[in-house]
A and B are shown apart, each in its own frame.
Chain A
Amino acid sequence: MKETLELINQMQADGVIGDYAIGGAVGAMLYLEPAATLDVDVFVALPTTKGGLLSLAPIYAYLEARGCVVREEHIVIGGWPVQFISPRDDLEREAVAAAVAAEVDDTATRIMSAEHLVAIALRTGRTKDHARILQFLEQDAVDSKKLETLIDKYGLRSKWEQFRHRFLGDPRG
């Protein structure tokens, strides 16, 4: 993983990508216990082509020139399949901008805040996302004020109430 992060950081230093933030299970691991996952989700503002389309091509060209191999929607960096994801909306863009600094054996990286991870998981709404939200709540790993702000800002109130009703037995939901 250290090698993976070093190459992503180098790619950023070389101007191929701008700010990035790790999300998904690896991101959640900053706040929770480790959970098995096979890949790393990296949210990054992608460069646009002349036609205005978002393109992974510069990232892949940079990494392939350094021996990385494309495998389906991933590119394997330092042994880890990495998926580069362009932020789809303001919530994900904010999650990248507000990412927090972390380190893996002296290698710096950026990880989404706990509240952004929970808000994105709530919006995505798969079973595994709900399970992760429950872990965040159970371990008291989120600032509830900040989370409530995100929920209102990004129109997630009804999803949050449904979640609370279904999983926490909250009658308000």
Chain B
Amino acid sequence: MGNREMRKQLAALTFSEKVRLLEKLRARSLAFAEARKKRKKSEDIPSGTPKHNQK
């Protein structure tokens, strides 16, 4: 299925169905953001820092 056709099919869904998809998209975006935040936090800890100094 082409991109345009897929978008057309998605647009034709009921508003309730679209909201359910939107909620999934949002949950995924939030999970990505959380993972990025965690990764950044671990990168911010210098590699030589003793474990008991890491929070």
Q: Shortest CB–CB separation between residue A163 and chain B, in angstroms? A: 21
Mask for B13-55, Cβ within 8 A of A = 1, else 0? 0011011011101100110000000000000000000000000
Those 9 A-B pairs whose CB atoms lie nearest each other, nearest first = A33-B10, A36-B25, A34-B21, A34-B22, A34-B18, A33-B11, A33-B7, A1-B19, A102-B15
Q: Shortest CB–CB separation between residue A165 and chain B, in angstroms? A: 23
| Cα–Cα distance between A29 and B19 once the two chains are bound (Å) | 8
| Cα–Cα distance between A62 and B26 once the two chains are bound (Å) | 26
Contact pick for B8, options A2, A105, A139, CB 8 Å: A139
Q: Does A31 contact B (CB under 8 A)?
A: yes
Chain B positions within 8 Å of A32 at CB level: 7, 11
Contact pick for B11, options A2, A102, A103, A139, CB 8 Å: A139
User: Which DSSP category, helix, strand, loop or mixed, fits chain B's interface?
Assistant: helix
Chain B positions within 8 Å of A138 at CB level: 4
| Cα–Cα distance between A138 and B3 once the two chains are bound (Å) | 12
17 contacts between A and B (CB under 8 A): A2-B19, A26-B22, A29-B18, A30-B15, A30-B18, A31-B11, A32-B11, A33-B10, A33-B11, A34-B21, A36-B29, A37-B26, A38-B29, A38-B30, A104-B19, A105-B19, A138-B4
A29 to B, closest residue via Cβ? B18
Q: Shortest CB–CB separation between residue B13 and chain A, in angstroms? A: 8
Chain B positions within 8 Å of A29 at CB level: 15, 18-19, 22
Chain A positions within 8 Å of B23 at CB level: 1
| Cα–Cα distance between A29 and B4 once the two chains are bound (Å) | 16
Residues of A1-38 whose CB lies within 8 A of B: 1-2, 26, 29-38
Q: Shortest CB–CB separation between residue A168 and chain B, in angstroms? A: 16
